[in-house]
Structure formats: structure tokens, C-alpha cells
Structure 1
Amino acid sequence: MQLTRKQFLGSMVGAAAAIAAPRAFSQSTVTLRLHQFLPPQAPIPRDAIGNWVKKVQEESKGRIRIQQFPSMQLGGRPPELFDQAKNGVVDIAWTVLGYTPGRFPKTEVFELPFFTGKAVHSSAAIYDYIQQHAADEFQDVKLLAAHTHGAGLFHSKTPITKLEEIKGKKVRGGSRIINIMLEQLGAVPVGMPVPQVGEALSKGVIEVATLPWEVAPSLRIPQLVKNHTGFSGPHGLYTQTFALVMNPAKYNSLPDDLKAVIDANSGLELSKAFGQVLDDADVTGLKMAQDAKNNIITLDEAETKRWQDAAASTRESWFTEVKGRGIDGAKLASEAERLVAQYSVS
């Protein structure tokens, strides 16, 4: 069948449009919504997430635009953030893994007492560990980064100088493992997300908060309490685990060149960068308490050893618990500690 001139020209236009379509698609602009629970002035949203957003937008030449929504502005509660990213309610979420108890049983090994120190080291270790041992816990999202904060310590209304002085006190805990540890140390654990801590201290709901130094300024901790107790040695009392995750369908919908931008700004180096931000912020938080002439206590090696011995039962009870889920907790703890040590000297 011969085509008329009109039909021929129409077919040529259609073919040209088909050829041009991928090019037009690849030049499109994508807007991603990033949701998290901290106020924008806190170190993670201001410096870690903020720097990442700027880098992604610049390297995509403005074709990826990321809208940041702090302080749960898009609704829900902090424990719902992981599912918001998983289900596509938001495109990207930054969250505390311990806010959903029992969901990340392999990853929570990093929350065991006296397990980690500097955040930059343990953040590299936890990302590497997840790739090797806990990738199944993140199969419903695209994991962009995983990290921890620095050494956790006590912030209290009255001084804590020895183990006996924590007994009976109402202490904020940020995760299931931390609450178990606090109970075994003789305290009364009160679980709550970070944003509630300041009000809880001011109203007497809690007497003591477990927090790293970095979050103290944004919660006004040095104004609310005057005593801060840390420990000797390279490891803090505890840490918490965090993840920056993306909805997989949203990621898969991106053209290949924009996927490459996300990939180039994800992984081990991003995890380390988040950890370094928190280490730097720990210095700032400590200085604020020093400037306020607060009572900063570092327990000596002998007293620290008493706390470590008292908290050892938390590790053993965790091993027993996860064994019931078919997880070799002792093996995972050994591997996690090996990675922490590896990145601490690298």
C-alpha cells in the first residue's frame, strides 16, 4: 500500500516524536519530598541532610529538587517515618530505627551498651554491617545511608557520680534496647522520641535524659538540667541507629542519569558524613554546657567498669531473645565490633 504525502509526513512526525520522547523525559525535573522529625536548626537537618540536598541538586543541574519537611510537618509520628517512605507517602525519610521496636533485630546490635564511640567510625561500620548481614531488613526501601550518633550519656537534675545514683530515677530511653539496659541498671525507663524530651524534663515526667551532646542545644538541655555524666574509655553508654531511606518505586521511576546522581551520593561515604556531622555537633553541645558552668562529670575507669559489668546482662538477654528468631546474636555482635574497630583505625 502506498502512502499519500499527508500520511507520509504524519508518520515522520510521529517517528520524530517517539525518538525525541526519551530525551524530553530525561530532561524533566523531579521534585522529592523529604520528611523527618527534628527542627530545621538541629545538626542533622541543617548540616547533614542540608549538605546532601545541596549536593544532589547541584550534581543533577537542578533537575532533582528536594523539598525538606522538618518536625513531622507532613503528619504522622516519628515511628511512622520508615513506613511513610516504604509506602510512598513521602519520597525520602530520615528516621531512628529504634522507634519501631523489634523491626530491625539484626541492626539493633549497635544499640547494645558500651558498644560504640565516635559516630564517624560506627556509622561506617553500621552501613558496612547492613550490607553484609542485615540487607533483608531494608528490602522494602532504598537505603541511602545508615549511621549512629556519638557516645550517649546522662543529663540529669541531680548529679550521677556512681551506679547507685541511677536507681529508681525516671530516665528517658530512646529505644527498646536502651530501655532494657536502663531497667537492668535499676532505673525506671520512660520511652519517648527526642522531640518530647525537653518538655518531659521541664514538667518532671523524667528526671534524667539519655542523649548525645549533639542534640542538647536544640532541646535546650544545658538550660533544663545542670549535670551531665559520661564515661571513661572509647565507648559511650549507648548509641542509637538511624537511616536515610527512599521509596523504591520513586527511585525506579527516575531516568538513569538521575538515578546515577542519587547512587553517587549514597552509601558508605554519606553514612560517614552524617556521623562526622554528629561528632562535630557533640563538641558544640559540650561547649554550650561548659559555657553555662554546668557540672560535667566523667566517671573514672573503675566506676565505668562497674557500669559496664552491670550492663553486661543486657547483651546476654538480647542474645537469648534474638536466638528465638533464628538470629545468632553473639556472632553478629562480634562481627559488628570487628567493623567498629576496623573503621576506628582506618
Structure 2
Amino acid sequence: MMIRITSYKLSGLAGAIALFLGATTSSAQSQEKSVHLKISLFVPPAHPLVPSAKEWAESLKKASGGSITATIFPAEQLGKAFDQYDMASNGIADVALVSPGYQPGRFPIINAAQLPFMVANAEGGSAAVDEWYRKYAPREMSDTHFCMAFVHDPGTLHSRKKIVLPGDVRGLKVRPAQQAIGELITTLGGTNIQASAPESRDALERGVADAITFPWNSIFLFGIDKVAKHTLDVPLYTTSYTWSLNKAAYDRASPQQKRAIDEHCTAQWAVKISHAWTVFEEEGRQKMRKASGHEITELTPDQLKQWQDAAAPLRTNWANSVRAKGFDPDEVLAELKQKLSDRKATY
């Protein structure tokens, strides 16, 4: 006997299967064990990274079917800026914004992205640094689960008195943004003053520091513009950051939840999470030019070359520190430069 199956019946069967699979997926998601992440940021609530972190968390919640939720803790609520990596490592935070440059000597490889005159812009730079560092993060940051890396828009030198040439730094007390800039200050005869971003204004107001390296608009966000009235108009450096996860928190997640996390730990998300900050800092240039009582110093080609020449020895120091960790600095740097070139972010 021949059995005929009409297209109508096939359509109904397909619909039933789809409903069954949808119900099964929904049921599986509803049975997922809930995961709640503590996200630690050392920047204040008004910083662009805070809403970006919330966007990341909301997207992760949706992708996990609601099983992964998060709470954002800005302004060093869970711990100091210098301690963010260890907080992610020991579980004080499940996710942390880490500034590797706050711990000199500990993370030499990623410091390549922080060398002066290395990264020209944050948009392409963030994608390039993330793609490049994924190869090295499992070894250099083995205590945590690497999610992504990004950089801020190029920062510069802001000071209480006018600085034009590298020799003007001699004798000054400078708060550096990260390790490479700290080495530059020492090379130029200055003294490094260690202070996190939230502590910087106080250091300048009390005369503990004479100058600071900082992005353009963050000067206003942290109130540093009230003290530092002179700015050098040059893209001197960028600071690299990582979005680092606690290993145990990641390992506790189900395969489906890990997939959702992995989909939110990409170069695309590195650009996305830092985009608002990039725009914010870019706007600071125009804001600084219009600000009353501020002087911006533009460099001639010869003056710029003097700064570049002064920074050149830092690459040798960096190479030695990377070699001491068992890596080939020429290979590491060549890979970074290629990624930056691919993303049109080479200085």
C-alpha cells in the first residue's frame, strides 16, 4: 500500500519539530545553573567604560538565555586599580578591568602596545592589540581567563608648567600612565610618582607630582584640568587594558554558558566595549582647545623627532624584558606591527 504525505502534512510536521526543538532549547536554558558575575572597574561611574560594561553584561545575559547575570562595581569598590589582576585571579572579582602597566615587569609582552609612538588610534589599535595578544595571554596571564584586550585613544603629557622638549622633563616629578612611560620619564631625568588615575589629581594639587601622562578628555573627568594647565599636542602613547575573568568562575559555567562568554570575548567586542571611551577621548582635544586658561603646545617636525629619538631606547629595554621571559622580542614586535598595519593603526 502506498502512503501519500501531502505538502500540508509535511509543513505541519516541520512546524511540530520546530516547536519541539524550541521548547527543548528553552527548557535546557531554563535548567541552566545561574551564574552571577561581579565586574570590577576602577574608573568612576561617569566614565564611558561603565555603560559599555553594562551593555556587555546585558548582551551576555541575553545570549545565555538569562542564566548569566552581572553587577558592575565601578570606582574601586572591590579593590584598588593596582590590584585588579590579582582580584580576578583570586575571585574577589569575576571580571576585572586590568591595566597591566600598573605592575612594572609583570607583563612585559603586552607592554609592547604601550611603547611610545606605537599605536596611532584606538579604534584599529584595540582590534589589532586584541588579535595579537590572544597568542600570548594564556602564558603571560595564566592566572586568569583572558577575555579581550583594548587600548585607549593616544594620550599625552599634561603639566603644571610648560614642557616642549624632552630635556624639559629633567628634574620634574611625573605620574606615568604605565611602565613604558615611566621608563621614558626616568631616561629623561625625571622622577616617577606612582598614583592610580583616581589618585592623580590629589598628587598634582599637593605638589607631589608636576606632570601627568593621561588621555585628553579624562583630564576633565578626573578634575586634573584644574591643576595641569599645559598640554603637549602629540600622540605620545596608549595604555593597554585587559578584560580578565576569574578562571573558576569560567570553569563553573556550563558548555552553553561558556559558548556565550566566548562569543563576548572577541576582537569585535574589544572594539565595541572601548568605542564610547575612544569617542570620549577624541572629543577632549577640542574641549581642551576651548578651555579657558589652558595652553596647548604643538611640536615642529624637528621637536617631534627629538621626542621619538628620546623614546627609542625603551624598545631595547622592552626587548630584554621579553627575552628574559623566554620569548623572541623581534617576533613579538613584528607580529604586533603587522596587526596594527592591517588595522590602519600604525603610528
TM-score by length of 2: 0.85
Which AA in structure 2 matches 1:334?
A
Say whether 1:300 aligns with 2:300: yes
Q: Is the 8 A contact 2:38 2:71 kept in 1?
A: yes
Q: State the shift of 1:208 in Å.
A: 0.6
Which AA in structure 2 matches 1:336?
L
Which AA in structure 1 matches 2:145?
K
Matches within 5 A, 1:262-277: 262-277=261-276
Where structure 2 has 5 or more consecutive residues not aligned to the other structure, the ranges are 1-26
**SS of aligned partner of 1:344:** coil
Say whether 1:38 aligns with 2:43: yes
Matches within 5 A, 1:55-70: 55-70=59-74
Q: Distance in 2 between matches of 1:258 and 1:179?
A: 40
Say whether 1:118 aligns with 2:148: no
Which residue number corresponds to residue 50 of structure 1? Answer: 54
Which AA in structure 2 matches 1:340?
L
Matches within 5 A, 1:184-195: 184-195=187-198
1:125–1:295 CA distance, 2 compared to 1 (3 A): same
Which residue number corresponds to residue 328 of structure 2? Answer: 328
Q: Distance in 2 between matches of 1:157 and 1:54?
A: 42
Question: RMSD of aligned C-alpha atoms?
Answer: 2.2
Q: Distance in 1 between matches of 2:121 and 2:280?
A: 12
Say whether 1:257 aligns with 2:253: no
Q: Distance in 1 between matches of 2:288 and 2:316?
A: 35
Which residue number corresponds to residue 228 of structure 2? Answer: 225
Q: State the shift of 1:244 in Å.
A: 0.7
Q: State the shift of 1:211 in Å.
A: 0.6
Could you tell me the percent identity over the aligned residues?
A: 27
Say whether 1:283 aligns with 2:282: yes
Q: Is the 8 A contact 1:144 1:266 kept in 2?
A: yes
Q: State the shift of 1:61 in Å.
A: 4.3
**SS of aligned partner of 2:108:** coil
Which AA in structure 1 matches 2:45?
P
Partner deviation per Cα, 1:1-34 (whole Å, 9 max, x = no partner): xxxxxxxxxxxxxxxxxxxxx9487344322111
Range that drifts further, 144-153 or 156-165: 156-165
1:248–1:320 CA distance, 2 compared to 1 (3 A): closer
Which residue number corresponds to residue 108 of structure 2? Answer: 105
**SS of aligned partner of 1:132:** coil
Q: Is the 8 A contact 1:175 1:191 kept in 2?
A: no
TM-score by length of 1: 0.85
Where structure 1 has 5 or more consecutive residues not aligned to the other structure, the ranges are 1-21
Say whether 1:204 aligns with 2:207: yes
Q: Distance in 2 between matches of 1:338 and 1:24?
A: 41
Q: Is the 8 A contact 2:175 2:195 kept in 1?
A: yes
Q: Is the 8 A contact 1:121 1:275 kept in 2?
A: no
**SS of aligned partner of 2:312:** helix
Matches within 5 A, 1:75-114: 76-114=79-117
Q: Distance in 2 between matches of 1:223 and 1:62?
A: 44
Which residue number corresponds to residue 13 of structure 1? Answer: none
Which AA in structure 2 matches 1:139?
S
1:211–1:25 CA distance, 2 compared to 1 (3 A): same
Which AA in structure 1 matches 2:63?
E
Which AA in structure 1 matches 2:257?
L
Q: Distance in 1 between matches of 2:36 and 2:62?
A: 14
Q: Is the 8 A contact 1:113 1:315 kept in 2?
A: no
**SS of aligned partner of 2:135:** helix
Partner deviation per Cα, 1:90-142 (whole Å, 9 max, x = no partner): 21111101122222121111111111121122211111111234431133322
1:325–1:138 CA distance, 2 compared to 1 (3 A): closer
Partner deviation per Cα, 1:279-298 (whole Å, 9 max, x = no partner): 20112322332332321222
Q: Which runs of 4+ in 1 moved over 3 A?
A: 22-25, 58-62
1:183–1:315 CA distance, 2 compared to 1 (3 A): same
Q: Distance in 2 between matches of 1:287 and 1:53?
A: 32
Q: Distance in 1 between matches of 2:163 and 2:29?
A: 64
Q: How many residues align?
A: 320
Q: Is the 8 A contact 1:121 1:343 kept in 2?
A: yes
1:225–1:315 CA distance, 2 compared to 1 (3 A): same
